[in-house]
Every structure is written in structure tokens, then in C-alpha cells.
Structure 1
């Protein structure tokens, strides 16, 4: 364990009094909702919530994309996100001229990948849902992105994600840990997905996690691994293969890049990382730094690699990127233990049997 990790953990441990105070506030808020002092609104309409109990990357965006791909052939799907770090306020619906600065990087990613799907943003989801249904009256299901902890709305189906490397039952409140909600809040979920598992996860390890989570009646638990796709050029969409002879410059501004770095370690000869904070808004100076770092690579088989989230924030430099070997690495959830079909059926059944879908 290196010095930086030890130092960070020591600092977070010293912040334990603040974590206790934060946990007390969250517990009181949940108690008020549980006792119905504060009310959760319900809609006679299929709402699917995707969220987690912690900060950091648990794979929410790939899960939203998985749900869109799964449902869009049978139902008219919409997504609703907060639009984190966007430069606008209030409700907004993506259109042909929308940029990531207007709706945020993750909603922009959904919009680019699924242009036929209604992609909306709004901090107050209670207000945004009726506006979205007014703008797109044919909508049959709305996927709420990162909304599990926002109890002002009670979704018909809650999907809770937890990272295999940081399972919620071993975590603690911010800032000592990464929890932004109580551990016991997992009981509100209908489906729990343990994400970022090793593809070789065995049955014994699976059963240990099942035992620790202590599933409630009618809860379903699934396990997924990260599945990386074939990189494609950010502008031309031309694909490229990854080989063991390549040297890569990784441009990355996501919450948890470790799985991606582990993947590159196993796949290419070497890589250099140009790291940014999560949701970083790229500037022209960043682009110059990227070109400089790329020029310093020594190999003859080199290219730049970035994530889909980062790519949507780089597209504003599209003309400058056309001649740069900058490729985007797609990522998906891969269900383990052959349980993907069961997950898919649960989702289809929920939407098909919801009152609005039966009309």
C-alpha cells in the first residue's frame, strides 16, 4: 500500500465526527419519510429508478443504457437525470442542437447513443416528470438516473447498484466512507446488482455476498462484470483493435478508473494516464496537454483512449480532433451465472403490467 493511500485513509478516519453527524441527518430524514411525516409522491405510470447508496462509479450510466436497449423495442422509453455539472437550471429536453454543457455529460451520452429516446434533465424530478410526459405524451416508461436517494418520488421499480470492490454493507458514511445513504436503505430496492465483479467470480464467493446482503422477501440479486467493447474513433467512428503491441495514452475523468486501468494493463504493452476529476469540463489547454503527452509516446503503434463519458465533453473540439487518433472505449454490463434472461424478464414484466402500459 503506497503512502498516498495510507494518508488519504488517515485523513478520512479523522473526519469520523463529521461522518457521524452526516449519518444522523440522513437517518432523521429517512425516519421522517418512513413515518410519512414527509411524503413520497407516486405516479400511476411505470418509473424505473437506477441508483446506489454511495458516491463514486457503480455503473449507473451503463445500466441505464442496458435498460434502454432492453426496453426500446417494445416500449417508448424516456430517461430523466439531474444533469450533474451542466451550465443550465431547471427542466430541459434534449434536441438536435443540445450540448453536454446544457444537459450534462451522462444525459448527452444517452442522447447521442439513443437519438430516438426522450432524454430529459431536471433537478426537481417531481416537477420534471409531468413536464416530460407533457412534451412526450406517448412515453410508456421513464428511467430515473441516479435517483434512489431522492425519496420525494417513489418509483415502481428500484434497481440498486453496489460495487463488488466497495460493497455497501462494508462501507461507512461520508466523508469517512463513501455512503450517502444508510445501509438499511437497501431494503427499499426491488433489484440489487453487484457490479464490477471479476468475470471469473465463483459460486462460493457469490453465496457469501448473498448471505451478507440478507435479501428481503421479493428482492432479487444479480451479479455483473464489466464488458469492454471495441474502441471507435471519436469523430469518424472508425473502429480499432486492441493488441499487446500497442502503447496507449489514457485520457480519463471518471469517478473510478481502476477497472479500466486494470483492463489496459492486461491488454496493451503499456499506457500513460492523463487523469482529470470526475465530470471534468475540458478546455483548449487540456487539448494541448493531450497532444503534448501523445507526442511523448515512444512506441510505433500508439493511440489515445478515452471513455464514453469523457468523449461527450470533448466533442466540442470536433474539428481539432478529426486528425487525432483519439478512440472511445464503450462499456456494458455482462450478467454472470446465466441470470441475464431472468433480469430482462423482470424488467419487461414490470413495464408490461404497470397500469399506464396496459391502457
Structure 2
């Protein structure tokens, strides 16, 4: 913890008090939460950024989209638009935000919407002629104005919420006691394999309630990199000089997977808006070398860098064990909720 964060500790106490009062008012019904007559799954975290929400949402899309009409609803962080927007052929990363636009690009059989007001966003989706049968709320664990039917809380292996403290001293948006609202807790970005003893140690740290389930996942990197028109095996470019670009919260694993001795690694803030100056710097550094970025950054860089040089590396969330049980829980919740409508 750096000195500035230590100095700001009194503000962390104040922030924690404010969020605790807010949660208490929602718990007691003083502040109203709204429920809806369809299955709603909320994915989120207690800390700011970097827990792997996007691959977790994509996991749920793959699990459910062959059986149900799915919609994702995000706030569209750092988008250059306001209000409710449903993705269409005219959408881009600036309008939707990078992560929703990534969903829209990858999954053609779902609806992708953004709205900072999740209640309004759900109402807008349900007011459409083609209504979704399941809504996935992205980064909505603290958005208590909407009461989801199932909550998935993510926490990173290297930064467990049980080891953290409140903003601005730490990275928590609310007290770790908020984890009690979760139905399932997923420890993300684990090393693979992860021993049973270490899993048990983490479980003891997190202090789960009796009705909660715990799972462990790791980031599974693709064996290929992709451009607009081609793909190349990672093994074929591993030893080539290249430019690696990441505008994500914790880029080191991405760099480590691809990096060779002479590679240049450029790290930008999470959800970074690439300026003309940034693009010029990348072009000057790259010259004729290939440029590899994350899938999330690719949707913002596409069109600004030469298509024959620009590639991205997809990732997905994979379970260390018990994925069948996780899938069963989700499918049971959605199936039961759908039948009871």
C-alpha cells in the first residue's frame, strides 16, 4: 500500500460507512429494488476492475444462447453516448463501449444493450416485440435498484476481496460483507493447476455462507491470433519481433503468454481511448512488425492501424473443476424461473 493510500484511510472509513448505509436501506426495503418476470443473472465484483467479468459473461452466453433468447445489459463504460442503446449494424465501440461491442461482434444471435440505468434498460428490452427470455447484467453487483434472480460474484486469485479494503485506501467498492448477496462466488485468474489444499485455504479466507458455492477458474488463451482476414498459430509468431498492446486492468499475463526477448510491450489504462498520438506512436514502433492486442482493445484499434498487421488474442474463462455443477446450477435457475413465469 503506497503512502497516499495510507493517508486517505479516513476517507475509506467514510466511504465504507456510506455504502453500508445504502445497502442497509435496500435490505430493509427503504430504498426500493425492482424485480422482473424473467430470469436475470447479475455478474459483478466488489473491487474495481480486473476480475474477468467479460469472459464470465461470454461463458454464460455460450451456455445459454442455444436454448434461450439472451440479452446482455451493460452500462457501457466510457462510451461516447447516453441513455439506452440497443446494438445494431451502425454500432461501434465508441457508441456501446468496448466490452458490449465485443459481445455484439462475437455473438450474432443475442441482443446487446447498454444503459447506466439498469431498470430502464430492462424495461426497454421487455418493451420490444422480440423480448429476451434471459438477461445477463454485466458489472451490476452494486446496482441494487434491480433485484436479479441469481448473483455471480467474481474475485481475482491474486487480489481476493477478503484481503482488500475500501476505496480509496484499497480497491473495494463496498465492504466484503456484501459478498453474502452472491449465490455463487468465482475465484478467477487462478494458476492451473491449483491444489486442493490451496482451494481449501482460499475458501476459508472468503468465509462463505452455508448456501453459497465456490468455483475456481483460469484464463484460457487461444492457440491462434486473429486479424480481420486471417489467423496465425501462436507458436508460429512466438519468436518473431512484435508489438504487444494492452489497455486492460492487469496486462502482465497477456504479455507473458506472447512475449519474446525483443518484443515491445505497450500498456495503457483500462478501457483506454486511443488518441491520434497513441496511434502514431504504435505505427512508428511497429514499422513492418505485427501488432497483437487483446480482444477488447482490438474493437477500438480496428480501422486505425493497418489490418494486415493488427491481430488480437481471444481468451475464455475455464473452470479448474466442477464446471458441470456450475452449468447445472445456472440451467436449473433459468429453467425453473422460465417455467414459473
Structure 2 counterpart SS, 1:116? coil
What's the TM-score, normalizing by structure 1? Answer: 0.90
Alignment partner, residue 5 of structure 1: none
Query: Is 1:348 paired with 2:321?
Result: no
**1:271 paired residue number:** 263
Structure 2 residue runs of 5 or longer lacking an equivalent are: none
Equivalent residue for 1:128, pick from 101, 121, 126: 121
Provide, for residues 250-285 of structure 1, a one-character-per-residue CA deviation record: whole Å limited to 9, x for no partner.
1111111122233235xx344321121111112332
CA-atom RMSD in angstroms = 1.7
Aligned to 1:21: 14
- Figure out how many residues of one structure are paired with residues of the other and give that number: 340
Shift of 1:157: 0.5
Once the two structures are superposed, residues 152-211 of structure 1 have per-residue CA deviations (whole angstroms, 9 ceiling, x without a partner) of 111000000000000001100111100001100100000100000001210100001111
Partner Cα separation in structure 2 for residue 148 and residue 77 of structure 1: 19
- Map of 2:172 onto structure 1: 179
Listed one character per residue, the Cα deviations across residues 311-355 of structure 1 (whole Å, up to 9, x for unaligned) are 1111243xx5223x2210111111013x1111111111111110x
CA displacement, residues 42-97 of structure 1 (integer Å, 9 cap, x when unaligned): 11210000000000210000100110011011111110000111111110100011
1:223–1:336 CA contact under 8 A, matched in 2 = yes
Alpha carbons 1:232, 1:239 under 8 Å: kept: yes
Aligned-partner SS, 1:251? strand
Structure 1 counterpart of 2:318:
334
Q: SS where residue 137 of structure 1 aligns? A: coil
Change (3 A) 1:102 1:251: same
SS at 2:232 equivalent: coil
The one of 322, 341, 349 equivalent to 2:307 is: 322
Following TM superposition, by how much is the alpha carbon of 1:239 offset from its aligned partner in structure 2, in angstroms?
Answer: 3.0
| Aligned residue number for residue 281 of structure 1 | 273
Alignment partner of 2:235: what SS?
Answer: coil
**Counterpart residue number, 1:228:** 221
Q: 2:84 and 2:131 mapped to 1: Cα distance?
A: 19
Kindly state the Cα deviation for residue 137 of structure 1 after the two structures are TM-superposed. 3.2
Residue 44 of structure 2 aligns to a residue in which SS? Answer: strand
Q: Supply the distance in 1 between the matched residues of 2:13 and 2:314 (Cα, whole angstroms).
A: 38
Q: Does the Cα contact within 8 Å between 2:251 and 2:267 map onto a contact in 1?
A: no
**What's the counterpart of residue 256 of structure 2?**
262
Q: Distance in 1 between matches of 2:131 and 2:27?
A: 33
Residue 235 of structure 1 deviates from its aligned partner by 1.6
